[in-house]
Structure 1
Amino acid sequence: MSEYLILVDKDDNPIGMEEKVRCHLPDGKLHRAFTVLLFDKKDRLLLTRRSPSKMLWPGDWDGTVASHPRKSETYVSSAERRLPEEIGASCRLDYLFKFEYHVPYKNIGSENEICGTLVGIVDDSFSVKLVEDEISEVKWASPDELFSDIERNPQNYCPWMLVALHLLEKSDNTMLQKHHKTLAKWIEQKNRLEESLKHHFPTGNWRLLN
C-alpha cells in the first residue's frame, strides 16, 4: 500500500497529500517531516545508520529517527508513534523547532521538507531493537566524537541531522531551559558543523521557521 505525505506551503500550512515516492523525486514536493534526537544521561546522542535498502542516503548516519507525520498527527505524536516502529523503543518527546530545507541525493531524488525537531532524554534502562529495512546499526556519540567525525567525513551523515544540530540554540526557550544540561554541551560546539553544512548545502538552501 502506498504511503501518502502531507504537502505544505512555506509556512507549514497543509495544502494536500501526495504519494511518498513522488514527494522524494529530484523535483520533490515540499512536505512535512520530523527528526528525533535522543540523548542519554551522559549527554550522548543516539545515532542510527540508515538501511542500505533506503532510496535516499542509504547507509548514511542519521540522528535517532527521521520520518513523516500522518494526517491529523502533531510532530510530537507522530514521532512518539514512529520511535518503536524504527528502533523498538519508546520515549516521551519535546518539540524544539522546525526548519525548511531542500537537498538533492545524486540523480535519484531529493528531500524537500519542513522538518520538526524533537528531543528526548533516556535513562540507563533504555535499549534498542533494530527494525529490519529501517536501521542497520546504532551507536552513542558525545559532541566531540560526533563533530570530529563529521569534520573528517561529512559525506557519511544525513544533511537534515546536521541542520537540526546546528539550530539547537534556536529551540523554544522553555525547552532550552528544561534540557539545558544536555543541549548546552552540543550548542557549544555547533560552529564545527559549518564546513559540513557547506558540503551538503553549497547554496545554503535551508532556513529556520518561526
Structure 2
Amino acid sequence: MPTSPATGRPGAHAVLPSPNGTASRPTEVAEPIMLELVDENGVTIGTAEKLSAHVAPGRLHRAFSVFLFDDAGRMLLQRRALTKYHSPGVWSNTCCGHPYPGEQPFVAASRRTAEELGVAPVLLRAAGTVRYNHPDPASGLVEQEYNHLFVGLVRNPLVPDPDEIGETAFTTPAELARLRESGPFSAWFQTVLDAAAPTIREVTGDTAGW
C-alpha cells in the first residue's frame, strides 16, 4: 500500500482529470503530520497538525527524547540537518520526535531511532517524563512538550538519514562540554539531559562520569 511521505502511513489518493477530460490514474495526496495534544498530566485531549502546534505560544503535545550510548559509555549526539524546519544545524540528543496519535511513546522512540540512524538499540529503557516550554530563538517556534525519555545502548554501525541528520558524534562528558562551547545546541537539550540523568547513570554504570 502506498504511504504518505508526510506521515509514513497509508496515503490518500485523488483522481485528477487528464487534458482531454478523462480521468487519469490516481495521484497520491500527502496527509498532514498530526501530533497528540495532552494536558498537564499527559492525558490525551486531542490532536493538532505538527507545525501549528509549534507556532507561538505553542500547544502542549506528546514527544519523546532518546539518549543512546556505546559500550564505552559515550553519548551519541546528532547534528540536525540544515534542511530541518525547526532548529536546523544544531546539535542535540540521539533522537527526538513525536508519536503518532495513539502510538505508544516507546514504539515511536524505537521506530524513529531506526528511521533516522538506521540502527535499532540493543537496549532501550524508559527514563520518566519532563514537561517544558522552550522557544527557539532562530525560528520563533515554541516547544511546548510533555516529553517521554528513553536511555539505551547501540552497538551496530550507524546509517544516518541525510535528510534528518547532518553529523553524528560519540562524546565523553568532557568532549560534550567542548562541543557545547563551539556551537549551538537545541533549546531542549539541557532540560532532557538533566531529567534523564539518573537513568543514564544506571545504564552506563556511571563509568563515563555522566
Q: TM-score range by the shorter chain?
A: 0.7 to 0.9
SS in 2 for 1:167: helix
The alpha-carbon distance between structure 1 residues 51 and 69, as it changes in their structure 2 partners (threshold 3 A), is same
Rg larger in 1 or in 2? 2
Provide the aligned C-alpha RMSD in A.
1.9
The residue aligned with 1:99 is: 130
TM-aligned CA distance change 1:185 to 1:146, over 3 Å: same
**Which residue is equivalent to 1:118?**
150
Note if 1:50 corresponds to 2:74.
no
**1:31: which partner in 2?**
61
Q: Match for residue 5 of structure 2?
A: none
Query: Which structure exhibits the higher relative contact order, with contacts defined as CA atoms closer than 8 Å and separated by 6 or more residues?
Result: 1
Q: Percent identity?
A: 32
Unaligned 5+ runs, structure 1 = 187-210
| 1:20-169 equivalences in 2 (<5 Å) | 20-91=50-121, 92-106=123-137, 108-123=140-155, 126-150=156-180, 152-153=181-182, 156-169=184-197
- TM normalised by structure 1 equals 0.78
After alignment, is 161-170 or 133-142 more displaced? 161-170
TM-score under structure 2 length normalisation: 0.78
1:29 shift after superposition:
0.5
Instruction: Give the helix-richer structure, 1 or 2.
Output: 1
Unpaired stretches in structure 2, ≥5 consecutive residues: 1-30
Task: Note the alpha carbon deviations across 1:32-60, whole angstroms, 9 max, x for none.
Answer: 00010000011001110101111221100
Query: Hey, which of these two has a bigger chunk of strand by percent?
Result: 2
Aligned-partner residue type, residue 19 of structure 1: E
Aligned partner of residue 129 in structure 1, secondary structure: coil
Native 8 Å contact 1:35 1:161 kept in 2: no
Q: 1:181 corresponds to which letter in structure 2?
A: G
d(CA) in 1 for partners of 2:204, 2:119: 24
User: 1:168 touches 1:183 (CA, 8 Å); kept in 2?
Assistant: no
Residue 159 of structure 1, CA deviation? 2.3
Change (3 A) 1:170 1:10: farther
One-letter amino acid of the structure 2 residue matched with residue 163 of structure 1: T
Aligned residues: 178
Distance 1:46 1:180, change over 3 A: closer
TM-aligned CA distance change 1:170 to 1:122, over 3 Å: closer
Summarize the Cα distance change of 1:108–1:11 in structure 2 as closer, same or farther, 3 Å threshold: same
- Three-state SS of the structure 2 residue aligned to 1:185 is coil
